[in-house]
Amino acid sequence: MSKRKILLLALSACMVAILAVGGTLAYFTDVSDVKRNVFTVGDVEIELTEPNWEAEGKEEAEDVYPGEALKKDPTVENTGTNPCFVRVGITGWDCLIKAGLSEQEIAYRTGNTVGTLGENWVKYGDYFYYTKVMASGDITAPVFDYIVIPTDVTNPSEEQDVDYYLDVYAQAVQAQGAKPSFADVQKMTVEEIAKWFEACNPAAPEAL
């Protein structure tokens, strides 16, 4: 065999080897792909209003008498995009006791019955909980319709000529994620809703 033929065979063998290696590298490396997963984060946002208090109750509260019922109707709207749970906190029920003007706390009532709450509201611990999931745009029934001044309230002295306050605030947490399925979320008890609030640790209300 001539040297020329040997050289051509050697070159052919090298080319086959290069092609084989190239094919192998392509087989092992051509497996990458990129997918972009887009997430849109919703928001939890609420608005607390007291329409009947603003229209009538606030003015009547400027000169109250024993046993008077003042219109006061804390109501919450889900103004965000996500379903949520809401609760309302109220402080100052004992403001007249602390001032020495009464031995009774201010009460609340719905309709004509003292101590009753609006539809789907439950008093649990220090809060009033709305026990239904609120979809975007939902508005609760009022927590109650009236506050009732104690029957034994007395006039303050000149040294006590100050205002007395009930402070109302509302909090909300997302409903999604409270249970593995949303069907279970919609069946949560007030005890479970309260635990979910504590787990979510909602922000404390701003100073009133």
Q: If DSSP states are collapsed to H, E and C, what string results for 131-161?
A: CCCECCCCECCCCCCEEECCCCCCCCCHHHC
195, 173 contact by CB (below 8 A): no
Lowest mean pLDDT across 6-10, 23-27, 75-79, 176-180: 6-10
Q: What is the pLDDT of residue 163?
A: 72
Q: What is the pLDDT of residue 9?
A: 47
78, 84 contact by CB (below 8 A): yes
- Report whether pLDDT(24) > 70: no
- Report whether pLDDT(128) > 50: yes
Q: How confident is the model at residue 156 (pLDDT cuts 50, 70, 90)?
A: confident
Lowest mean pLDDT across 42-51, 108-117, 124-133, 182-191: 42-51
pLDDT tens track for 169-203? 999 999 999 999 999 999 999 999 999 999 988 77
Q: How confident is the model at residue 65 (pLDDT cuts 50, 70, 90)?
A: very high
Q: How confident is the model at residue 53 (pLDDT cuts 50, 70, 90)?
A: very high
Domain edges within the chain: 46-200
Integer distance in angstroms from the first to the last C-alpha of the chain?
104
pLDDT tens track for 91-111? 999 999 998 999 999 999 999
Lowest mean pLDDT across 29-38, 59-68, 143-152, 166-175: 29-38
Residues 6+ apart with CB under 8 A from 173: 44, 84, 85, 196, 197, 200, 202
Average pLDDT over the chain reads: 85
- Report whether pLDDT(6) > 50: no
Cα separations in angstroms, 95 against 3, 74, 136, 163, 188: 113, 19, 36, 10, 34
CA 134 to chain centre: 9
Residue 36 DSSP symbol: P
105, 150 contact by CB (below 8 A): yes
- Interatomic CA distance for residues 22 and 138, integer angstroms: 64
Q: How confident is the model at residue 161 (pLDDT cuts 50, 70, 90)?
A: low
- Interatomic CA distance for residues 201 and 199, integer angstroms: 5
Q: What is the pLDDT of residue 150?
A: 95
